[in-house]
Structure 1
Amino acid sequence: MSSLPVLFVDHPFPDLYRDLVDDRATIVGSGTDDGLVRADAVIAGAVRHWNAAEFALAPSLTVISRVGVGYDNVDVADAHAAGVVVCNAPLAPMVSTAEHTIALMLAVTKHLPHQMARSNGGLKGEPVGRALELDGRVLGLVGLGRIAGRVAVAAQALGMRVIATDPGIAESPVDGVDLVGLNELLAMSDVVSLHAPALPSTIGIIDADALERMQPGSYLVNCARGPLVDHDALLAALDAGHLQGAGLDVTDPEPLPAGHALLDRHDVVVTPHIASATVAGRRRLYEHAIDNALAVLAGRPASIVEPPA
């Protein structure tokens, strides 16, 4: 009988990444509950919610390792109570997500959906030069973790001044990025980009009041978590012309239902939570998730999510 550790994958495991396991472990599950009872580790996607009831189904479980940064779908307190270590992969999506953030910022500030509609014959008349030149403009980052730090460097290369707000740090880890309060950031920024986790203190942080504090004619980008933004308030700010546009890789709900008012607007770009889904980024997510799980099982250092106080 094999002595290899058993990794339960709670979603269909892509054959493309089978080589990341090879003879290091045995993969079970892959979208079914087969093998959960003998699983040493779970490789968790973003859909299934893992709590005390789920952990009770896996008496041998030692670690649950997320294929991603966020762990909203894992009850860390329940895991801790069950003796299960929770891991995430904070470095894996950093490059791809930062690039996607810059791509959304450029798409909306250059009014690309509007101009594409013009090219396709959907809009008539002379073009209006409303696109924003980013050189010399201010980018405000809500959260200054790894992804936001990389966004900051890219934005500085475009000639932007970058400011940030993050209650979790005392001084900026990125040269040339000034830390300010949230209200100051909203008032100063031509583009506000969200990089905070979904916590009780951050859910709905961009509400009607926050949007009103943003500069007239400014833009919002969100590649973090959908619940950070009140979408009804966002629509109202766009309809009123207070905001010029928004780029969203994450929404609430996710995905948005067909016919949602945020879809098919010329001032909004919505992508389906795929910021990290480059070829390199997806492989890195699975690589880090598997490596974390096997490291915990072997007693080696891993990227561990601390249980709540």
Structure 2
Amino acid sequence: DAFPKEGVDHICTQVELDELLAKSDVISTHAPYIPANGKVITKEFISKMKPGAILVNTARGELQDVDAIIEAIESGHLAGAGLDVLENESQFFFKDLRGQDISDSAVKKLVDLYPKVLLTPHMGSYTDEAVENMVETSFNNLKDYLETGECSNDF
């Protein structure tokens, strides 16, 4: 987080990002993409990571510089990466690409770096519980609008 949290010292130790990157064996990102902030996982970010660390991005593809990740894996600075997000991922995920060439050279390189790179589709919202919650919330929103003209999830 950009700001230290209060009341969590009993369950975790908060450190500055540079210290976290230098000491951690695995870095896992869980952040929204904010266009004004640009990419977070850059060549500079990766260069601060502990040699031999593993990068996991299950947040947003726009947060990462894929070429920087590839370079770090090829050089041996990173031991590997687990990615379930890519920029423009709809071109690649949930499609049968067997027997086809991958047109994006960076994505092709990621695929070719297996097993150092595990590339999977983002599935967080496809669990039974997540789908049930989405349907229930949508139903309740519609019911509220029909009955009162308002709902608690109105933006």
Question: Which interval holds the TM-score relative to the shorter structure?
Answer: 0.7 to 0.9
Q: Judging by fraction of residues, say which structure has more strand.
A: 1
Shift, 1:168, TM fit? 5.3
Counterparts of 1:81-230 in structure 2 under 5 Å? Answer: 166-167=1-2, 170-171=5-6, 173=8, 175-230=10-65
Shift, 1:270, TM fit? 1.0
Change (3 A) 1:280 1:256: same
Change (3 A) 1:256 1:180: farther
CA RMSD of aligned residues (A): 2.5
User: Which residue number in structure 1 is paired with residue 127 of structure 2?
Assistant: 278
User: Which residue number in structure 2 is paired with residue 239 of structure 1?
Assistant: 74
Shift, 1:295, TM fit? 4.1
Shift, 1:204, TM fit? 0.9
Shift, 1:219, TM fit? 0.6
**Is it true that 1:291 corresponds to 2:140 in the alignment?**
yes
Change (3 A) 1:216 1:289: farther
Q: Which runs of 5+ in 1 are unaligned?
A: 1-165
**Is it true that 1:301 corresponds to 2:119 in the alignment?**
no
The residue type paired with residue 227 of structure 1 is: E
> In structure 2, how many angstroms separate the alpha carbons of the residues matched to 1:249 and 1:181?
26
> In structure 2, how many angstroms separate the alpha carbons of the residues matched to 1:285 and 1:209?
38
> In structure 2, how many angstroms separate the alpha carbons of the residues matched to 1:171 and 1:237?
35
**Is it true that 1:261 corresponds to 2:112 in the alignment?**
no
The residue type paired with residue 109 of structure 2 is: A
Shift, 1:272, TM fit? 1.4
Q: Which runs of 5+ in 2 are unaligned?
A: 93-101
Q: What number of residue pairs does the alignment pair up?
A: 139
> In structure 2, how many angstroms separate the alpha carbons of the residues matched to 1:180 and 1:201?
24
User: Which residue number in structure 2 is paired with residue 102 of structure 1?
Assistant: none
TM-score, normalised via structure 2 length? 0.75
Change (3 A) 1:251 1:177: same
> Which structure has the larger Rg over C-alpha atoms?
1
Shift, 1:277, TM fit? 1.3
> In structure 1, how many angstroms separate the alpha carbons of the residues matched to 2:6 and 2:132?
33
